[in-house]
Amino acid sequence: MKRIRKSFIASMCLLTAFVLWTVAICFVDVRAIGPQGSSVGFAGINGFVHTLTGVHFSLYNITDWLGLVPIFVCIGFGILGLVQWIKRKSIRKVDHNILILGGFYIVTIAAYLFFESVVINYRPVLINGYLEASYPSSTTMLVMCVMPTAIMQLGSRIKSKALRNIVAVSIITFITFMVIGRLFSGVHWFTDIVGGTLLSTGLVMLYRAIIGLEVG
């Protein structure tokens, strides 16, 4: 129970930090430093980091295509749940951790759709000539929500400890590359990456706490 409590507290702290960070972006050092006169908070920091990294559309395209990986992971676990449902002839007999994962995916999608509608700030560059919502980084959020939960799911299903470690290290390496890649591609402000990291980590810790309750 102590581990579950720690996960829940960590989740609440991270999600609270995300809310405060989002509010701060709306009011602190807001200046029109983006394309077409678009504004962003923490303009000094964001402008400095963006100038430092520059814009690299080749890296943007690579991370964009690799952003399909977590989507395929979602589809894979969705198929697993569907197969269990069909074989066991009742959704109540589907593994509870798969049902919880499905609910987690729905929350992640809802967060994405919310910030597509409620624009905090736009990208520091035009994509195909258009301004796009940039906060929080949707790719960062997707990768950091789906892939850590995949580690937890696969960890409970793979019997070999060596294979579990290989899978975990591979996924963590992928996550690290994707987050750093999105930052250095220059298609997001620094604050977008931080926001995506806070939100996704908070949600993952909440998922971990709920899964812990289920196991317990």
Residues 46-80 pLDDT 10s: 999 999 999 999 999 999 999 999 999 999 999 99
Q: What distance in Å separates the CA atoms of residue 176 and residue 124, rounded to the nearest whole number?
A: 22
Judge contact between 34 and 190, C-beta under 8 A: no
pLDDT in the model for residue 208: 93
pLDDT digits (tens, 9 = 90+) for 126-137: 998 899 999 999
Question: Which is higher by pLDDT, 156 or 150?
Answer: 150
pLDDT at 207 > cutoff 60: yes
What's the confidence (pLDDT) of residue 183? 94
Give the SS3 label for residue 116: helix
Question: Does residue 208 come out as left (phi exceeding 0), alpha (psi in the -120 to 50 range) or beta?
Answer: alpha
Model confidence pLDDT, tens digit, residues 162-192 = 999 999 999 999 999 999 999 999 999 999 9
Tokens standing for residue 170: 């591979």
pLDDT of 216 higher than 70: no
Tell whether the model's pLDDT for residue 215 goes beyond 60.
Answer: no
Non-local (6+) Cβ contacts of 188 within 8 A are: 123, 124, 134, 137, 140, 182
Q: How many residues does the chain have?
A: 216
Across the range 150-155, mean pLDDT stands at 93
Q: How far apart are CA 77 and CA 202, in angstroms?
A: 21
Average pLDDT of every residue of the chain: 94
pLDDT at 214: 63
Backbone torsions φ then ψ of 110, nearest 5 degrees = -60, -40
**Percent over 90 (pLDDT), the chain:** 88
Q: What is the pLDDT of residue 193?
A: 97
| Pairwise CA distance, residues 8 & 16, whole Å | 12
Residue 212: the pLDDT is: 79
Q: Of 178, 173, 100, whose CA–CA distance to 143 is shortest? A: 178
Read off the tokens for 209: 């706490």
Assign 1 a pLDDT band (cuts: 50, 70, 90).
confident
